[in-house]
Amino acid sequence: MAKKNGNNKKYKILFAASEAVPFIKTGGLGDVCGALPKILKKMGHDVRLVLPRYWSINKEKYGLKPILGPMGVPTGNGVMWCQILEGRSDGFPVYFIEHESYFGRAGLYDDGNWEFGDNPERFGFFSRACLQLCQDLKFQPDIIHCHDWQTALVAPYLKIWERRNPFFAETASVFSIHNIAYQGTFRADAYGFLGLGRDNFTDAKFENFGGINFMKGAIYYADAITTVSPTYAREILGEPGANGLSIYIQRRKDDLYGILNGADYDHWDPEIDPLIAKNYSPQDISGKKACKAALQKEFLLDPKENVPIVGIISRFAEQKGFQHLAIVMHRILRDMAVQFAILGSGDKSQEDFFGGLPALYPGRVGAWIGHHNQKAHTIEAGADFFLMPSLYEPCGLNQIYSLKYGTLPIARATGGLKDTIIQYEEKTGFGTGFLYDQGTPSAVYDTVGWAVSTYYDRPHHMELMRRRAMIQHFSWLDSAQQYEEVYRKAILRRQTWQ
Ligand code: ADP
Ligand code: GLC
């Protein structure tokens, strides 16, 4: 884990991201890329964020204004043009790269079924545009912080294309891996457009089974690499955690740091949350009852005070492990007196399965298929338990939010779940959640059973755990201080880069 910044230096930082709240979010990446710049700005750094201007980002709503005039972006196929819009978020500037044919469509990375075929061009262009924007703005960053495959190429572009550009002579790159399963692997014929140079199409850099791998390039070229929890940093040094990239990560292990995500408690705190039925705090949890009733009403569940509710909010993707829950769901509902409130979208067969449960179990299962922020808050506040059967989880934010809402997580002990949840001890009532090791359907069944029996048989333990959970604090300030230290090290590393 990185230590805190000792020298108190203020940096100029460009965040290059493909999503960030409040503008656009498909998952935790959006939460992090909204919250981390905000706290760094508060700490006195000059932070700026660049996002693509997707069709769904409303210019009027966010008061986005064109700046600079048309901007030419060099690509392997010549110069392409875009427009820059400027907005603000929590006191720092946010720039939007507008290029209608790439970003003026519904969907960020796919059309709901298939990934967009031109993703390498879209995000290659975006990454190049981030560097061009710095120059046109005359903003000479100390650090460019890029995230996941979508902006991974910023790091190699700095070292390849901009190698001899004095403007970037002192700019270091930090690459954050939020999920190593999505590496940005594409067909080789996009390589020419990216303009990364034939010499670099090698196994150590961009080549991947004959195609291109964006993340591999960033792992090679970034001055520092971070990932979103200490446990996940260890997991990606080996397989299967690294999805085939462990040998490349190992080569950079001295520059790898695991920094746990924080939670943005401005938005996720039951004491002040305006989206829930009644506010409550660790000192007075009584409002949680009204939140449970509101959840039951909204999800058409029987209005029973003394039946536990298991909440779920998730992308339905293999990573999240709901295929295991699906296998044991009927058994759970047959054997246990429990209700479920489910909010999710993604995999079509899981959408059909979970979306079909309320018809089979009226009053016991409520499900809403889609993305809905207010319903997410309603579940966090109203449920008794929060289920995350993830096969792997780099950090996970929902369990962190759940702890704050006194909604005890039931989760597999992997990645950030392991780093944030304290295992329940049946003898003493210690702990903040229910963890299991094996990624199997029967482990999901058993652990849900363990939580439900604790609810009925050891209510005093539930009480203790709730309070303990609610006072856990995963502050962005702590994490941001660790990022400051990584920035310092990245700048040093940049100076010795061969
Ligand atoms: P991941 O990024 O892998 O999906 P995280 O736990 O890091 O997982 O973050 C997920 C974020 O997306 C959380 O803020 C969660 O509340 C939100 N989220 C996921 N699915 C939905 C949904 N269907 N509706 C509303 N919010 C959702
Ligand atoms: C990814 C991971 C998730 C993490 C999030 C934010 O989406 O799947 O575990 O919390 O990024 O870092």
pLDDT band at 7 (very low <50, low <70, confident <90, very high): low
8 Å CB contact between 397 and 31: yes
Query: Which ligand lies nearest the alpha carbon of 393?
Result: 2
Query: 97 pLDDT exceeds 50?
Result: yes
Average pLDDT over residues 228-241: 97
8 Å CB contact between 24 and 34: no
Cβ of residue 343 lying under 6 Å from some atom of ligand 1: yes
Q: How far apart are the CA of 374 and the centre of ligand 2, in A?
A: 20
pTM above 0.85, yes or no: yes
Whether residue 279 is contained in a domain is answered as: no
* 237 and 106 assigned to the same domain: yes
Residue range(s) defining the domain that contains residue 116: 3-262+476-496
Cβ of residue 393 lying under 6 Å from some atom of ligand 1: no
Could you identify the atom of ligand 1 that is nearest to the CA of residue 26? 12
Nearest C-alpha to atom 24 of ligand 1 is from which residue? 371
Cβ of residue 34 lying under 6 Å from some atom of ligand 1: no
Q: How far apart are the CA of 28 and the centre of ligand 1, in A?
A: 6
Query: 6 pLDDT exceeds 80?
Result: no
8 Å CB contact between 368 and 307: no
Cβ of residue 394 lying under 6 Å from some atom of ligand 2: yes
pLDDT of residue 284: 96
* 336 and 400 assigned to the same domain: yes
Whether residue 278 is contained in a domain is answered as: no
Whether residue 282 is contained in a domain is answered as: no
Nearest C-alpha to atom 11 of ligand 2 is from which residue? 178
Cβ of residue 313 lying under 6 Å from some atom of ligand 1: yes
- Mark out the alpha helices in 69-187 (DSSP H runs): 100-103, 119-137, 148-152, 154-159
Cβ of residue 373 lying under 6 Å from some atom of ligand 1: yes
Q: Give the 3-state secondary structure of residue 411.
A: strand
DSSP for residue 345: E
pLDDT of residue 112: 83
Average pLDDT over residues 233-251: 97
Average pLDDT over residues 278-284: 97
pLDDT of residue 234: 97
Least reliable range by pLDDT among 89-93, 339-343, 353-357, 447-451: 89-93
Query: 167 pLDDT exceeds 60?
Result: yes
* 252 and 296 assigned to the same domain: no
Cβ of residue 32 lying under 6 Å from some atom of ligand 2: yes
* 301 and 203 assigned to the same domain: no
Distance CA 67, CA 472 (A): 43
3-state helix, strand, coil in the chain (%, to 5): 40, 20, 40
pLDDT band at 469 (very low <50, low <70, confident <90, very high): very high
* pLDDT tens string 372-387: 999 999 999 999 999 9
* pLDDT tens string 401-442: 999 999 999 999 999 999 999 999 999 999 999 999 999 999
pLDDT band at 309 (very low <50, low <70, confident <90, very high): very high
Residue 280 to residues 199, 275, 387, 474, Cα–Cα distance (Å): 60, 12, 22, 19
Whether residue 281 is contained in a domain is answered as: no
Q: Give the 3-state secondary structure of residue 51.
A: strand
Q: How far apart are the CA of 312 and the centre of ligand 1, in A?
A: 10
Cβ of residue 177 lying under 6 Å from some atom of ligand 2: no
Cβ of residue 396 lying under 6 Å from some atom of ligand 2: yes
Average pLDDT over residues 266-295: 97
* 485 and 453 assigned to the same domain: no
pLDDT of residue 8: 80
Residue 100 to residues 52, 66, 356, Cα–Cα distance (Å): 10, 14, 38
pLDDT band at 42 (very low <50, low <70, confident <90, very high): very high
pLDDT of residue 4: 52
CATH number for the domain harbouring residue 213: 3.40.50.2000
Helix (H) or strand (E) holding 66: strand 65-75
Residue whose entry in the numeric block shows the structure tokens 């966090």: 380
DSSP for residue 257: E
Helix (H) or strand (E) holding 199: none
Residue type, 473: H
- Mark out the alpha helices in 272-372 (DSSP H runs): 287-298, 322-335, 348-360
Whether residue 13 is contained in a domain is answered as: yes
Cβ of residue 376 lying under 6 Å from some atom of ligand 1: yes
* 215 and 359 assigned to the same domain: no
* 251 and 314 assigned to the same domain: no
- What are the residues whose beta carbons fall under 8 Å from the beta carbon of 266, sequence distance 6 or more? 272
Whether residue 490 is contained in a domain is answered as: yes
Residue type, 259: I
* 391 and 482 assigned to the same domain: no
Q: Please state the domain count of the chain.
A: 2
* 222 and 306 assigned to the same domain: no
- Mark out the alpha helices in 320-412 (DSSP H runs): 322-335, 348-360, 373-382, 398-404
Q: How far apart are the CA of 372 and the centre of ligand 1, in A?
A: 10
* 361 and 217 assigned to the same domain: no
pLDDT of residue 1: 47
* 203 and 352 assigned to the same domain: no
Whether residue 274 is contained in a domain is answered as: no
**Nearest of 39, 145, 419 to residue 258 by alpha carbon:** 419
Distance CA 221, CA 225 (A): 10
Whether residue 463 is contained in a domain is answered as: yes
Average pLDDT, the chain: 96
* 214 and 295 assigned to the same domain: no
Q: How far apart are the CA of 178 and the centre of ligand 2, in A?
A: 5
* pLDDT tens string 191-222: 999 999 999 999 999 999 999 999 999 999 99
**Could you tell me which residues are beta bridge partners of residue 93?**
88
